[in-house]
Structure 1
Amino acid sequence: MSDASKSDYPDIILCPGGPMLLRGDHVVQDENGNDHQTTRPVSAVCRCGKSQIKPWCDGTHKFLRKQQPPTD
Protein backbone atom coordinates (compact mmCIF):
# COMPACT_ATOMS: atom_id res chain seq x y z
CA MET A 1 0.00 0.00 0.00
CA SER A 2 1.19 3.53 -0.66
CA ASP A 3 1.87 6.25 1.89
CA ALA A 4 -1.76 7.37 1.66
CA SER A 5 -3.81 6.39 4.69
CA LYS A 6 -7.27 4.83 4.49
CA SER A 7 -8.75 8.18 5.52
CA ASP A 8 -7.45 9.64 2.23
CA TYR A 9 -10.00 7.55 0.33
CA PRO A 10 -13.74 8.32 0.29
CA ASP A 11 -16.08 6.08 2.32
CA ILE A 12 -18.79 6.34 -0.36
CA ILE A 13 -18.27 6.18 -4.13
CA LEU A 14 -21.10 6.51 -6.67
CA CYS A 15 -20.27 4.44 -9.77
CA PRO A 16 -21.74 5.98 -12.96
CA GLY A 17 -24.56 3.71 -14.12
CA GLY A 18 -23.80 1.30 -11.30
CA PRO A 19 -23.87 0.75 -7.56
CA MET A 20 -22.87 2.87 -4.60
CA LEU A 21 -19.69 1.48 -3.06
CA LEU A 22 -19.30 1.72 0.72
CA ARG A 23 -15.87 1.33 2.27
CA GLY A 24 -15.71 0.33 5.93
CA ASP A 25 -18.43 -0.40 8.45
CA HIS A 26 -21.89 0.91 7.60
CA VAL A 27 -25.51 0.05 8.27
CA VAL A 28 -27.78 0.19 5.20
CA GLN A 29 -31.54 0.46 5.66
CA ASP A 30 -33.67 -1.22 2.99
CA GLU A 31 -37.05 -0.04 1.64
CA ASN A 32 -38.85 -1.99 4.39
CA GLY A 33 -36.87 -0.32 7.17
CA ASN A 34 -34.66 -3.35 7.89
CA ASP A 35 -31.04 -2.63 8.81
CA HIS A 36 -28.22 -4.51 7.06
CA GLN A 37 -24.67 -4.31 8.45
CA THR A 38 -21.88 -4.32 5.88
CA THR A 39 -19.63 -7.37 6.26
CA ARG A 40 -16.95 -6.74 3.61
CA PRO A 41 -14.18 -4.17 3.29
CA VAL A 42 -16.12 -2.72 0.31
CA SER A 43 -19.86 -3.32 -0.21
CA ALA A 44 -21.93 -2.49 -3.32
CA VAL A 45 -25.41 -1.07 -2.72
CA CYS A 46 -28.01 -1.28 -5.53
CA ARG A 47 -29.04 2.02 -7.11
CA CYS A 48 -31.03 0.72 -10.10
CA GLY A 49 -33.74 -0.81 -7.88
CA LYS A 50 -33.78 -4.12 -9.78
CA SER A 51 -31.37 -6.25 -7.72
CA GLN A 52 -32.71 -9.57 -6.45
CA ILE A 53 -30.58 -9.26 -3.28
CA LYS A 54 -31.45 -5.70 -2.22
CA PRO A 55 -30.08 -3.64 -0.71
CA TRP A 56 -26.94 -5.17 -2.26
CA CYS A 57 -26.03 -4.94 -5.94
CA ASP A 58 -26.22 -8.16 -7.97
CA GLY A 59 -25.03 -6.64 -11.28
CA THR A 60 -28.52 -6.34 -12.83
CA HIS A 61 -27.74 -2.74 -13.85
CA LYS A 62 -25.33 -4.12 -16.50
CA PHE A 63 -28.18 -6.05 -18.14
CA LEU A 64 -30.53 -3.05 -17.96
CA ARG A 65 -28.06 -0.84 -19.85
CA LYS A 66 -27.93 -3.34 -22.71
CA GLN A 67 -31.73 -3.36 -22.95
CA GLN A 68 -32.06 0.41 -23.38
CA PRO A 69 -32.25 1.66 -26.98
CA PRO A 70 -29.43 3.93 -28.21
CA THR A 71 -30.03 7.65 -27.67
CA ASP A 72 -28.86 9.06 -31.03
Structure 2
Amino acid sequence: MSGRRADIVLCPAGPMLLRGQHTITDDDGVEHTTTRPVSAVCRCGKSASKPWCDGTHKVLPKKLRP
Protein backbone atom coordinates (compact mmCIF):
# COMPACT_ATOMS: atom_id res chain seq x y z
CA MET A 1 0.00 0.00 0.00
CA SER A 2 2.92 2.37 -0.16
CA GLY A 3 2.12 5.63 -1.90
CA ARG A 4 -1.64 5.22 -1.41
CA ARG A 5 -3.72 7.27 0.97
CA ALA A 6 -6.80 6.08 2.78
CA ASP A 7 -10.11 7.20 1.28
CA ILE A 8 -11.65 7.65 4.74
CA VAL A 9 -9.90 8.96 7.86
CA LEU A 10 -11.62 9.39 11.25
CA CYS A 11 -10.02 12.33 13.05
CA PRO A 12 -9.91 11.86 16.84
CA ALA A 13 -12.57 14.15 18.39
CA GLY A 14 -13.22 15.62 14.95
CA PRO A 15 -14.69 15.02 11.52
CA MET A 16 -14.50 12.14 9.09
CA LEU A 17 -12.27 13.09 6.16
CA LEU A 18 -13.18 11.72 2.74
CA ARG A 19 -10.61 11.74 -0.04
CA GLY A 20 -11.94 11.55 -3.59
CA GLN A 21 -15.52 11.41 -4.80
CA HIS A 22 -18.14 10.13 -2.36
CA THR A 23 -21.88 10.47 -1.83
CA ILE A 24 -23.13 11.10 1.71
CA THR A 25 -26.76 10.61 2.74
CA ASP A 26 -27.88 12.94 5.54
CA ASP A 27 -30.41 12.23 8.31
CA ASP A 28 -33.26 13.37 6.04
CA GLY A 29 -32.25 10.98 3.26
CA VAL A 30 -30.84 13.74 1.04
CA GLU A 31 -27.72 12.77 -0.89
CA HIS A 32 -24.71 15.10 -1.01
CA THR A 33 -21.78 14.51 -3.35
CA THR A 34 -18.31 15.63 -2.35
CA THR A 35 -16.88 18.40 -4.50
CA ARG A 36 -13.40 18.84 -3.03
CA PRO A 37 -10.30 16.65 -3.12
CA VAL A 38 -10.77 16.16 0.66
CA SER A 39 -14.13 16.76 2.38
CA ALA A 40 -14.83 16.87 6.13
CA VAL A 41 -18.06 15.24 7.31
CA CYS A 42 -19.52 16.22 10.71
CA ARG A 43 -19.43 13.51 13.38
CA CYS A 44 -20.46 15.59 16.41
CA GLY A 45 -23.93 16.39 15.04
CA LYS A 46 -23.65 20.09 15.91
CA SER A 47 -22.43 21.59 12.61
CA ALA A 48 -24.56 24.36 11.10
CA SER A 49 -23.66 23.07 7.63
CA LYS A 50 -24.43 19.35 8.07
CA PRO A 51 -23.45 16.95 6.71
CA TRP A 52 -20.24 18.96 6.38
CA CYS A 53 -18.04 19.87 9.32
CA ASP A 54 -17.87 23.57 10.21
CA GLY A 55 -15.43 23.19 13.13
CA THR A 56 -18.07 23.34 15.88
CA HIS A 57 -16.56 20.24 17.52
CA LYS A 58 -13.59 22.38 18.57
CA VAL A 59 -15.73 24.43 20.99
CA LEU A 60 -17.66 21.49 22.47
CA PRO A 61 -16.74 20.01 25.85
CA LYS A 62 -14.57 16.92 25.39
CA LYS A 63 -17.38 14.61 26.55
CA LEU A 64 -19.56 15.79 23.62
CA ARG A 65 -16.91 15.33 20.93
CA PRO A 66 -16.96 12.25 18.70
TM-score bracket, normalised by the shorter chain, equals: 0.7 to 0.9
* TM-score, structure 1 as length reference: 0.81
Higher relative contact order (CA 8 A, sep 6+): 2
Unaligned runs of 5+ in 1: none
* Deviation (angstroms), 1:10: 0.4
Gap regions ≥5 residues in structure 2: none
Which structure is higher in helix share?
A: 1
Percent identity of equivalent pairs? 66
Please list, as runs of the form range in 1=range in 2, the aligned pairs for 1:9-28 lying within 5 A after superposition: 9-28=5-24
Count matched residues: 62
Runs of 4+ in 1 over 6 A off after TM superposition: none
CA RMSD of aligned residues (A): 1.5
SS in 2 for 1:13: strand
